Each structure stands twice: as C-alpha cells, then as structure tokens.
Amino acid sequence: MSTIERHYAHGGLSRAITQGLATLGKTPRSVTVDDLGPVDEFHIGGRQATEELMKQLALAKDLHVLDVGSGLGGAARFVASRYGCRVTGVDLTAEFVETARTLSEWTGLGERLRFHHGSALATPFGDAEFDRAYMLHVGMNVSDKPALFAEVARVLKAGGVFAIYDVMKTGEGTLTFPVPWAATPEINAVAPPEVYRAALRASGFEIRAERDRRDFALEFFETLRARMARAGGPPPLGLHLVMGPDAATKIGNMIANIQAGSIAPVELIAQRAA
C-alpha cells in the first residue's frame, strides 16, 4: 500500500456509512444518490461544486466519462443519474474503490458505473476511449502533473473536454498540516494554476476557462459551521466519516490556509485538440 493510499484508508468505511444511514432511517435498499451526497462528495463545496463543474462539460446521455481519482464515486453517481452517462472511475485507494462499487449497487446504478483500483498515471483504458473527463481534488496528491494530463489526453477523444477542480497554490506562505489530502508535507503536491496550465498545454489541451473559487469555499464552510452549530455537532452522514477522528483539525487547517490566501479551489476547463 502506498503512502497516499494509507493516508486515505479507513478500514470500515462501508460499515460507518451504513450506520449513518440507519440513524437517518435509511437502509441500503432505500438510499438515494442525494442521501449519500454529504459523505461521498469528498471535495470543497460537495454536491454544489460538482453540479457547477459538470454543467461546463456539455454532458449528454450515453457519453462515456472518465472520473480521475473517483474516490467513493459520488460525482460518478451524480453524473450517471442526472445525465444518463456511463462513467468509469480510477482511484489509488482500494477501500474507496470497493466502497464506490457498493454504494453504486445500493443506488441501482451499477450497470452504468465501473471503478478500477490503480494509478491515474497508468490507466488500463484504451486510446480515445472517453468522450469527457473530470477530476475533483486529485492533483494535490499527484506531483507529476505532465504525466497525469498526458494520460488523460491519451484516453480522451479528440475534441473531448476535461474539467478540473483542485486545491491550488494561490499565494505565499507555508501550509499548516494536516489537511484532508495530506497529514504531512511529504504527500502534498499542491501547485499553482500556471503549473496546471503548462502541463495541460504540453499534453495537447487548450484552456477554455478558469475560475478561482476561494470566496465560494469560504462561504461553504461558514454555512457548514452554522449548520453544525444549530445541530449541536456533525450530521450522521458527512465527510468526518471519511477523514477519521482528526477531521475537524484537517478541515480547520484547510480553512485557515484558504483564509490566509495560500491556497484556493480552482476550476480549469480544457479541451483536447481536435
């Protein structure tokens, strides 16, 4: 198991989600994609951020979409249920892949989704296999951005659109750890947007749009804080189940790093040259 996989491995994730569902009066037979949103969308802004990113991909029924770093499969299930796409995910954490498969079966989407355990730098997919691709909060653990984007370009059809939503370095200052993607600096690969742009262009992509989401992130966390204060604690289903006992510290440090101007979530929309 790699250092990155050890960072994300939980050991009892499906069981923890099942217990959270029971608290909400739900079972694997009755759970919906929306029910799972608070726990399976492991990125800043959750489902709202996913919806806004996917609107920029021009998705349509039966397109084949690649989810790079698919995690628990939340975004993939949203895309399959909302747009009718087929989605294939790849993720480095075996437990995430197994959980993604389980949750997809629970929600009746198993036929439209498949998840592979492996590296996004060397996927098992064929050339030009996908119509679209996206990744949400993945590049912070991948230091070799050129190799990552070259692999996405290889498996994406000419003219295909690739959407990125990552935490990027947007200012000076040393980051405070732990954060959700890294307990220590050794597995932190946060890079500025210009590194992403250069790597994308070197792989044959054209940059179509870019958006800094710092204000959106801070508003999201303030809303989340207020909701938890009213409820007297975290909800039965939430990202604290994924991040473990130090979730509050990881999130607190991430917010502080964003407030300091050192990092921010950033969207990049790129298109593979025809």
CATH, residue 63: 3.40.50.150
Domain count, the chain: 1
Exposure b/e, 76-112, CB count within 10 A at least 16 = b: bbbbbbebebbbbbbbbbebbbebbbbbbebbebeeb
pLDDT, tens only, 230-265: 988 889 999 999 999 999 999 999 999 999 999 999
**Does residue 188 contact residue 159 with C-beta atoms inside 8 Å?**
no
* Entry pTM: 0.97
Please, which pLDDT band fits residue 274 given cuts at 50, 70 and 90? confident
Domain range for residue 79?
Answer: 3-272
Strand pairing of 156-169 and 113-117?
Answer: unpaired
Strand pairing of 156-169 and 263-272?
Answer: antiparallel
Give the list of residues 6+ apart from residue 131 with CB closer than 8 angstroms, or none.
63, 64, 65, 156, 157, 160
Give the list of residues 6+ apart from residue 103 with CB closer than 8 angstroms, or none.
17, 36, 40, 72, 73, 77
pLDDT, tens only, 20-44: 999 999 999 999 999 999 999 999 9
